Amino acid sequence: MHPSEWSSILFNFYTNSKKAIKRTKKQGEIRIECGFSGSNVYLEFSDTGDGIPEENEESIFEEFFTTTSPGILDDINSSNEITGTGLGLKIVKDIVISYRGKIEVVSPKLGYNTCLRVEVPKASDKELDKYGF
């Protein structure tokens, strides 16, 4: 996966977490864990935001599905920074699938309310050379 695609994934996860944490009106925390799982690499992105209702766990990856709108966040200084278009996680899903990977909501570790997991096949030596690693 190209480094810019990893950047897009992390940026999307970060902005979604920031919105979820702001909705709690408390100081929040983000946790990022990476590692290997068999022949794959994984990234888990967790936060202490307001969580994802179980009934929305599959919908969040569909285009135009969003949990934010200006009206929901009026009391938190809603700006364009906080409103969602519902495209971010769809784009992330498309990137991940294009590398034969998967993205899913998984059970968060103790103290966190949401965890998104991305898992893709490890890069080949040729791919690593291509990206300068």
The letter for the amino acid at 69 is: S
What is d(CA 81, CA 58) in angstroms, rounded to the nearest whole number?
24
Least confident range of 59-63, 65-69, 125-129: 65-69
Rounded mean pLDDT of 87-112?
Answer: 96
The answer for residues whose C-beta is within 8 angstroms of residue 113's C-beta and 6 or more apart is 20, 47, 48, 49, 50, 51
- CATH at residue 71: 3.30.565.10
Return the pLDDT at 82.
54
With cut-offs at 50, 70 and 90, classify the pLDDT of residue 63: confident
Least confident range of 23-32, 34-43, 66-75, 117-126: 66-75
* Domain membership of residue 68 as a residue range: 3-131
The letter for the amino acid at 5 is: E
Q: How many domains does the structure of the chain reveal?
A: 1
How many angstroms from the chain centroid is the CA of residue 130? 26
Degrees (nearest 5) of the Cα angle 104, 8, 110? Answer: 40
What is d(CA 54, CA 106) in angstroms, rounded to the nearest whole number?
11
pTM: 0.84
